[in-house]
Chains A and B, each alone.
Chain A
Amino acid sequence: MRSLVHEGVDTIFGYPGGAIMPVFDALFDYDKHLNHILTRHEQGATHAAQGYARVSGKVGVCLVTSGPAATNAITGISDAMLDSTPLVVITGQVSAVLLGTDAFQEIDVVGITQPITKWAYQIRRAEDIAWAVARAFYIARSGRPGPVVLDFAKNAQTQLVEFDYKPCTFIRSYLPVPEVQPLQIEAAAALINGAKKPFALVGQGVILSNAEAELKAFLEKADIPAAWTLLGASAMSYDFPLNKGFLGMHGNVGPNMKTNECDVLIAIGMRFDDRVTGDLNTYAKQAKIIHLDIDISEIGKNVKPDAPVLGSAKDTLPALTAKVNPAKHTEWIHSFEECEKLEYEKVIKREVYPESGELTMGEVIHKISEATDNKAILVTDVGQNQMLAARYFNYTQTRSVVTSGGLGTMGFGIPAAIGAKMGAPERTVCTFCGDGGFQMTIQELGTIMQEQIGVKMIILNNHFLGMVRQWQEMFFDERYSFTEMQNPDFVAIAKAYRIDGTEVYKREELDGAIADMLKDDKPYLLVVNVEKKGMVFPMVPAGTCVTNILLGD
């Protein structure tokens, strides 16, 4: 406990059980220092810790027992690994003498979690606790962040030792932040200074290294238009003139088209995920590529850069800004407008500003964003709700988006929103879920009830697993195999948890319902029945060229 307090931990998400009971017993006396949130499932605890970490920039902490608790936590740990989220997950374990005997609730946690963590370690002796906890926090938060698992044998939980806590600041086999190499900076600056049509791709690395201001200064000086990945969303304000929108499969037309028109592509803290690049053989072949990343194993993993720049964006961006010439690329930047106009006519008008017909997901998301003055934190589940929320929710502050990008975990939305609200209690947190994902972690309504966590939950209900349905319609001959859902009365379920809510069917009811939801800081469930067969466009079909954009017309 004292080790955790030393690391500045104030919130823990957890669930007690046999092999972690001594720690929970100690927690009972630490209620002044550590706020423990009892989730309803260990998966919920991990997602909540992720939400907390993503909005606060601090390490999210989970405390669960052995065996099934540890395996329930696996989804959240994997999610944190793929999305570079700092977590320390402490799992209980049977006593050291019982290890390897198939004891009750014994499972090889370290073995299972090694591929999905930055570091996994088993504490078998109380003497190792302070050392292991210090190391765990250092590893989780430094460099490219990620999850760490501490598997805590029961005997080590009850032994008494002299407490001697030293924070960890150095591991000789681990270099979290590579030093900026001036030659790399110069090579990159030379490419940028020679560029007529430079284009920047902004990833989560900018947010994780708190380099939002450095990014803005860089883009403004060299007058470079920029687009963001799903996890890079909110690194730039939506109204920043050089922000040209969202990249990838369901991104904006401009950013995807211009990827294959620019002459220098500057990737900043992003990893060229397949949902961004589509077919690598046709991806930005005409451009010189600059890749800024903190993780050397990302450089050249998917796209081979002409100028790699290793280091934290916090260090490399200012170094680069100092070397680039002030420039104006007015004509090139204006060329995005044509794409924007096309996208507005073909997609946005219908999705966000429909005048008749059924409600659409896009209009609901856009209205809620505006009703919060574009200042709320967006949490999403996975699927159509996620892609449309990323497209139509607007961000004015950094760390405003919590979504499961790499793993694409349905059921992420509700528990992650709990964590986000705990991590930023002064901000409004809106979580958009589909009817499918909401039911994957619906039990976390219990957590919301018990802790009175003021999250605003919106179910965009189309009675379908919408994204799968969309693929079935487009690529599987409209064979809707097991995607239609018969749903419960969600508002009645919320009522059972003493959470207010309402259900909307018609356009004229929407504004009133949104105002009602946002009138105070209490938890609220808004169910909006939207068109059954809504589609997310634009779309670059998986594995095809980024300019192969379907507009649904």
Chain B
Amino acid sequence: MENTLYTITVFSENTVGLLGQITIIFTRRNLNIETLSVSPSAIKGIHKFTITLFTTEDSVRKVVQQIDKRIDILKAYYNTDEGLVSQEIALYKVATDKLLELGTIEKLIRHHHVHILEMNENFVVFEKTGHYDETQQLFVELSQSVGVLQFIRSGRVAITRSKVERLSDMLENIQHKFGE
């Protein structure tokens, strides 16, 4: 079966040790996490994990069920790229003198829509947001022209295209039932 890139979204309570509980589910099935990003969600006290991996639908479904089963997990679901609006961010550090020598800063900004975060006599830090291919392309270009001193790319953050807001609906449902 063909492997596809899936994005798993997990909402959890903010308790110690949850990341470990999630990652062992992947480890046990010999699945490799491509990217991972964790942050507080829009709802107070609830954290959101965004995890990407290449696998089959059967396998991602089972992984999501196992994650969802953990006590402190509120909700877990998966999407393919079609179901998501997603973004990543990358930072590039290059030497100022080489960049000036090349003289193509304007082209970089126009073409790649990079922002300059910091610039001094030694180095410049660019920021670019985009999908993996886009940030990777800039990395390749810079590496070949001026060389990249440091590079970092974030994990994916994603928002679903679906009209239903699964978590808030679920919470409302639970509170409703519990309130009765």
Contact = CB atoms under 8 A, between A and B. Distances in A.
Contacts of B68: 296-297
A115 B16 CA distance: 15
Contacts of A120: 17
Contacts of B61: 300
B56 to A, nearest CB: 14
A159 interface: no
B71 interface: yes
Interface stretch (B1-9, B20-28, B93-101): B20-28
A110 interface: yes
A173 B61 CA distance: 19
A110 B17 contact: yes
B174 to A, nearest CB: 5
Given A170-B178, A171-B71, A174-B71, A297 B66 contact: yes
B65 interface: yes
A172 B174 contact: yes
B70 to A, nearest CB: 8
A118 B71 contact: yes
A111 interface: yes
A119 interface: yes
B178 A172 contact: yes
Nearest to A175: B174
A166 interface: no
Nearest to B67: A297
Interface in A291-314: 295-297, 300-301
Contact of A139 (B13, B62, B71): B71
B48 to A, nearest CB: 13
Q: Is the interface of A mostly helix, strand, loop or mixed?
A: mixed
A114 B72 contact: no
A173 B20 CA distance: 18
Contact of A172 (B65, B69, B171): B171
Q: Among B12, B20, B28, B73, which residue has the most Cβ atoms of chain A within 10 A?
A: B20
B84 interface: no
B122 to A, nearest CB: 39
A114 B20 contact: yes
B124 interface: no
Contacts of B66: 297
B74 A173 contact: yes
B75 to A, nearest CB: 8
Interface string B4-44: 00000000110011001100100010000000000000000
Nearest to A171: B71
B71 A114 contact: no
B12 A173 contact: yes
Contacts of B65: 296-297, 301
A193 B100 CA distance: 80
A119 B61 CA distance: 22
B136 to A, nearest CB: 35
Interface string B45-73: 00000000000000001100110110111
Interface in A194-244: none
B28 A115 contact: yes
Given A172-B175, A297-B62, 20 more contacts: A110-B17, A111-B17, A111-B20, A114-B21, A115-B24, A118-B71, A119-B71, A119-B72, A139-B71, A172-B74, A172-B178, A173-B13, A173-B71, A173-B72, A296-B68, A296-B69, A297-B65, A297-B66, A300-B62, A301-B62
29 contacts: A110-B17, A111-B17, A114-B20, A114-B21, A114-B24, A115-B24, A115-B28, A118-B71, A119-B71, A119-B72, A120-B17, A122-B16, A139-B71, A170-B178, A172-B74, A172-B171, A172-B175, A173-B12, A173-B71, A173-B72, A173-B73, A174-B71, A295-B69, A296-B65, A296-B69, A297-B62, A297-B66, A301-B62, A301-B65
